[in-house]
Amino acid sequence: MKRLDVKAIAEKIDYHQQNGIEMVKITNEYPELTVEEAYDIQKLTIQRYVERNDPVIGWKMGLTSKAKQISMGVDEPIYGRLTESMELREPVLHVKDLIHPKVEPEFAFVMNKELKGGNVKPRDVWAAADGIYLALEVIDSRYENFKFTLPDVVADNASSTKFVLGSQVFSPSYTQWDQVKVTMHKNGEEVQSGYGKAVLEHPVHSVVELTKMMNRDNLTIKPGMAVLVGGITEAVSVEEGDILNVEYEGLDTLNLAIN
Ligand code: 0L1
Ligand code: MG
């Protein structure tokens, strides 16, 4: 295999992420790329964001539904880094610089205590969680046709692109998050629905898994950080002019205008 230059690959991915230009898979050139090496590439890519004064403000979990894991032939989720520039300040998504964006409904846990270690339990997550937001994540793989292997998608920061949080914060004990029904409408038509339990049987498990995976890489979830726990339904493709209305039953409705 060609010698792996993680720094050069990180620079290349950063360029494609910043400019919304698609690229061929990294594994075409480096077929033996490992998931561990891919996380090194992800870290170096996001270091470039940080150097541009775009700090890491949270983490995201991907491949948290059994269906997505089976379709990729994996039995573990993946994580990515969220930076300040990825958070939309208003519920409007500009798609001009994106490739083939998709939107998925999620929950975001915001922490008020550090979470770390390989032995974290759900009750540790509840003790550390300040509040839960309803959230929409925009994923936009930089790879052609949204097709990739596991190391490819990890290197591309788990397809992270943008996200928006609802304006209401809920107490973690407000409801049974696994039982919440979510229905997505695109341009007035129902396109997806699902329950919170689609996320690793319960969204809290996603934060547990994230902490364990981060521990392997000597990382921790710091106070104040947000964690997007994973898609509650399949992601929906969007284009200019679309309007999404996402109802979280008994909680609130999030709207997103695509411009
Ligand atoms: O947020 C996600 O679940 C996406 C993870 C990466 C896989 C994809 O882009 O579909
Ligand atoms: Mg997601």
DSSP state of 45: H
Instruction: Tell me: pLDDT of 255 over 90.
Output: yes
User: What pLDDT is attached to residue 95?
Assistant: 96
Report which bound ligand comes closest to the CA of 141: 1
User: What pLDDT is attached to residue 72?
Assistant: 82
Return the residue matching tokens 């997103």. 256
Total number of domains constituting the chain: 1
How many other C-beta atoms can be found within 10 angstroms of the C-beta atom of residue 96? 7
Average pLDDT, the chain: 96
Q: Which two structure tokens, joined as six digits, stand for 91?
A: 């519920």
Q: Average pLDDT of 189-210? A: 97
Determine, yes or no, domain membership for 254: yes
User: What pLDDT is attached to residue 74?
Assistant: 86
37 C-alpha to ligand 2 centroid (Å): 22
Which residues have C-beta within 8 Å of that of residue 136, sequence separation ≥ 6?
A: 91, 103, 104, 105, 106, 163, 164, 244, 246, 254, 256
Q: Average pLDDT of 100-114? A: 97
Nearest CA to ligand 1 atom 6: 158
Atom of ligand 1 nearest to the CA of 62: 3
Residue 76: which domain range? 6-258
pTM of the model: 0.96
Q: Is 139 in the pocket of ligand 1 (CB under 6 A)?
A: yes
pLDDT tens-place string over residues 167-186: 999 999 999 999 999 999 99
Q: Is 230 in the pocket of ligand 1 (CB under 6 A)?
A: yes
Which CATH number fits the domain that encloses residue 146? 3.90.850.10
- Element of type H or E holding 215: helix 203-216
User: How far, in Å, CA of 259 to CA of 253, rounded?
Assistant: 20
Q: Residues with Cβ within 5 Å of ion ligand 2?
A: 137, 231
Instruction: Tell me: pLDDT of 2 over 80.
Output: no
